[in-house]
Amino acid sequence: MSSSPAGRSRLTAQVRDGIARHPRLPRAAKAAVAAVLAWLAVQPLGGAADEYPYYAPLGAVIAVSATVADSVKASVQGVMAILLGAALAVVAAAVVPTVPGLAVVVLLGTLAAGWWRFGEMGDWVPIAALFVLIIGSSGLVDYLIGYVLLTGLGAAVGVGVNAALPPMPLVPGDRQITVAREALAAQLDDLADALRSDPPLDREQWLARHHDIRPRALAMGRLVTQATQVRRVNWRARRWQKWADRQVEHARALERLSLVVDDLAGLLAMTEHADREDVALGPRLRQPAAEAMEAVAVMLREGKDEDGPPSQDVRDRADAAVEVLADSVTERVRAGVTEVLAAGAVVTALRQLVASV
């Protein structure tokens, strides 16, 4: 039965998976609720609310953001942008005719929209200027007051809805972490496969095996920022404190690991291709290096956020494989081989990965 603990657990998992795949769904639902509430709130007011009631839901939609703090910030920025746009329209209406005034307010409004204090709300400067100049031309002052007040009221409703139902976008964050782990593991597997290639790959073939990993590092950096900001002005934050802390820890680790894997791929692409006389690893070290990379890839895949860290057995196998590679490099040094700097860098990178997962 769906009311059983197992049924509820499956339903919860399905809801979480849906949110993870479509993270904008909760925000869209809150924006819809805020718009309806703002519309209902202005119906009894009369005056400008009778003539321009649609500005209230517009303000509500503007205000609903990814976090409560962002919601307040977006509301303030939006009202500031609207006020500036309205001021431009008032000045233009007093100085020049309507047609030249349109050009003036769009030009100046678009330039002003780039001011960093407006953030993403900057585009409302020219939009507000156009609304005030065209729609409010017959009663400029009354329209201006109604426009600003109704939009501000709607923004307040949007902030209220976001505060009452504050977002905790941790489920999408977990999915991002899983995707990032898989991307790093896939890169290591591809490098291992390249090392086993016979004949050895040339430089172009190695470069083709170098995945674009750095965007993953940037995504993890954004995730850390989001998981930190989402707890501000959020009454649900304490309930999800451990989850959020764990997500920040994993995202920071993956941010570092992404750079390590990217550097490792770049190092092999530059030093292990068949066009070089002195390669980084050579025939004797390629096999243990490939096995070490595959073992670390397995550890990365097992260490998913929702499942906790990798098992000790998986970690031990990865650590042992890396140490086999390190011992092989040491044997090469004892045999009189001096060009082992790049091979040592590979060992160091793999040790970093094992220690950080």
pLDDT at 203: 82
Contact 97, 87 (CB under 8 A): no
- Please tell me the CATH code under which domain 173-356 is placed: 1.20.58.220
pTM of whole model > 0.85?
Answer: no
Residue 187 has a pLDDT of 92
Report pLDDT for 305: 44
Give me the average pLDDT of each 10-residue run along the chain (357 residues).
Answer: 55 57 76 91 82 85 77 83 88 84 89 87 87 73 80 89 77 82 91 86 84 82 77 71 81 87 87 69 85 91 62 84 89 74 85 84
Residue 47 to residue 43: CA distance in whole angstroms? 10
pLDDT at 307: 52
Contacts of 271 (CB under 8 A, 6+ apart): 279, 280, 342
Give me 320's structure tokens: 């042992």
**SS3 for the chain, per residue?**
CCCCHHHHHHHHHHHHHHHHHCCCHHHHHHHHHHHHHHHHHHCCCCCHHHHCCCHHHHHHHHHCCCCHHHHHHHHHHHHHHHHHHHHHHHHHHHHCCHHHHHHHHHHHHHHHCCCHHHHHHHHHHHHHHHHHHHHCCCCHHHHHHHHHHHHHHHHHHHHHHHHHCCCCCHHHHHHHHHHHHHHHHHHHHHHHHHHCCCCCCCHHHHHHCCCCCHHHHHHHHHHHHHHHHCCCCCCCCCCCHHHHHHHHHHHHHHHHHHHHHHHHHHHHHHHCCCCCCCCCCHHHHHHHHHHHHHHHHHHHHHCCHHHCCCCHHHHHHHHHHHHHHHHHHHHHHHCCCCCCHHHHHHHHHHHHHHHHC
Amino acid 177 reads I
Cβ neighbours of 41 (radius 10 Å): 19
Q: What is the CA radius of gyration of the chain?
A: 29
Cβ within 8 Å of residue 73, ≥6 positions away:
65, 119
CB 158 within 8 A of CB 277: no
Contact criterion met (CB below 8 Å) for 237 and 308: no
Are 174 and 307 in contact by the 8 Å Cβ rule? The answer is no
Q: What is the pLDDT of residue 205?
A: 85
The whole-number pLDDT of residue 169 equals: 67
The domains of the chain are located at 24-164, 173-356
pLDDT at 213: 81
Backbone angles phi, psi at 137, to 5 degrees: -65, -30
